[in-house]
Amino acid sequence: MAKETASASTELKIKQAARKIFMQKGYAAARTRDIAEAAGINLALLNYYFRSKEKLFDIIMLENLQQFIEGIKEILNNRQTSLEQKTETIVTNYINLLTQQPDLPLFVLHELRTHPKEIISKIDRDKFIHRSYFMQQIKDAAKERKAASINPLHFLMNIISLTIFPFVASPIIQNIGGLNQQDFNALMEERKKLIPKWIKAIMQKK
Amino acid sequence: MAKETASASTELKIKQAARKIFMQKGYAAARTRDIAEAAGINLALLNYYFRSKEKLFDIIMLENLQQFIEGIKEILNNRQTSLEQKTETIVTNYINLLTQQPDLPLFVLHELRTHPKEIISKIDRDKFIHRSYFMQQIKDAAKERKAASINPLHFLMNIISLTIFPFVASPIIQNIGGLNQQDFNALMEERKKLIPKWIKAIMQKK
DNA sequence: GTCTATATACGGATAGAC
DNA sequence: GTCTATCCGTATATAGAC
């Protein structure tokens, strides 16, 4: 019992350390020694728990992806909320998440592209975004307006681009704007209100 | 003379191969052996020309950054063109560039974050964007309108987010939308006209 | 479960012949 | 300039003691 508790907590420590190191360095540059050290345990123990660097990575990656998708699924399929409300919720949720973990999107996107494995199939294997009520709402909104209809993919790309990209490019943005971390976070806080407004303006434009 | 010609062409072949492999795998995962093979030469020769993997990388990276910035400097400081024209030119130029080299932004952004070197200082060491005529035009436009003034940084973030992020996230976008490479490129082609329109709509919104 | 010590593999870099 | 053969550091993974 005491062993199991220790075991669980050790496993968790390793995973937390792994998440940190993997996100900082990327998979290839991350060293299992560093992960072990950051977890306050020995290298051999890491392999005892997770068998290999690759296996450990797969677990972290999967959890990250789930975290990314977690929540958004319900938001997109909520039949009670308007398109505007969904947009606002998505933007707010992601900005909150990424303010805590700014390295998350770049890490996921980079490993998704470079890693030979088919992690991508796990992202959206049931195509839930494509079939979501959200997508239906976009199509309907386009039909109902006299304005030229907007491709739902453009709409979706716009929301996530405006929300996520500033975090991905934050080193450059902070450099250009002469911003420290706090300034940058304040800017992102502003965007919680601004992006939904902008999206609305884009939709109304002919 | 014949030697020098061969030398120059070999050096170029190595650089082209290096650019390709580095962009595909990232710095850490890229193997000099693979670069040599892709260049059709031997590993020893690579070190003969570039001394080390690190040195070769620095050269490739610097060239990529210059490519990224190349052109945009003149565009931003052109005193003859309007804000709308500049926006359209920037969007078109980047979409053209990234359609040819879709891995470029993710590679640059990832290495910028993970590589211990201070590459970033080279990006904008003279703060040319911040001091550009373009930035002045944004500030002026904000003043002249009755609409609430927009932070120039938000304006800039919006343009590059809407333009670049779709390429960064293209695997996910193609997965969600069920698009092949041609479909995706067609979508980006559409955005050349759409993004400037959207930016205009955003600006006019109170 | 956790450690120390070690086997093994891989990748960057060099020596030296041509 | 270009090659083959090889060295050597580093990083993953395992053996085996506690």
In angstroms, the CA of B44 and the C1' of D4 are apart by 10
Q: Which nucleotides of strand C lie within 7 A of protein CB?
A: 1-5, 11-16
Q: Would you tell me which residues 139-168 of chain A have a C-beta closer than 8 angstroms to some C-beta of chain B?
A: 151, 153-154, 156-158, 160-162, 164-166, 168
Contacts of B120 in chain A (CB under 8 A): 171-172, 175
Counting other chains too, the contacts that A141-150 makes at CB distance below 8 Å and 24 or more residues apart are A141/A83, A141/A203, A145/A203, A145/A204, A147/A203, A147/A204, A147/A205, A147/A206, A148/A206, A150/A202, A150/A203
pLDDT of residue B146: 56
Q: What is the dihedral of CA B51, B52, B56, B61, to 10 degrees?
A: -140
pLDDT by residue (tens digit) across A133-172? 999 999 898 888 755 578 999 999 999 999 999 999 999 9
Task: Judge: B176–A154 Cβ closer than 8 Å, yes or no.
Answer: no
Query: So what CATH class is B71-204?
Result: mainly alpha
Homologous superfamily (CATH) of B1-56 is Homeodomain-like (1.10.10.60)
Domain boundaries, chain A: 1-53, 71-204
CA distance A63 to B143: 47
Q: Would you tell me which residues 88-107 of chain B have a C-beta closer than 8 angstroms to some C-beta of chain A?
A: 103, 106
CA distance B174 to B180: 7
* Residue B176 · residue B201 · CB < 8 Å: no
CA distance B104 to B61: 10
Each residue's pLDDT expressed in tens, for chain B with a length of 206 residues: 444 566 779 999 999 999 999 999 999 999 999 999 999 999 999 999 999 999 999 999 999 988 888 778 899 999 999 999 999 999 999 999 999 999 999 999 999 999 866 666 666 667 888 899 999 999 898 888 755 578 999 999 999 999 999 999 999 999 889 999 999 999 999 999 999 999 999 988 65
Task: Judge: B26–A26 Cβ closer than 8 Å, yes or no.
Answer: yes
Task: Judge: B175–A124 Cβ closer than 8 Å, yes or no.
Answer: yes
* Candidate CATH numbers 1.10.420.10, 2.40.110.10, 1.10.10.10, 1.10.10.60; the one for domain A1-53: 1.10.10.60
Task: Judge: B28–A24 Cβ closer than 8 Å, yes or no.
Answer: no
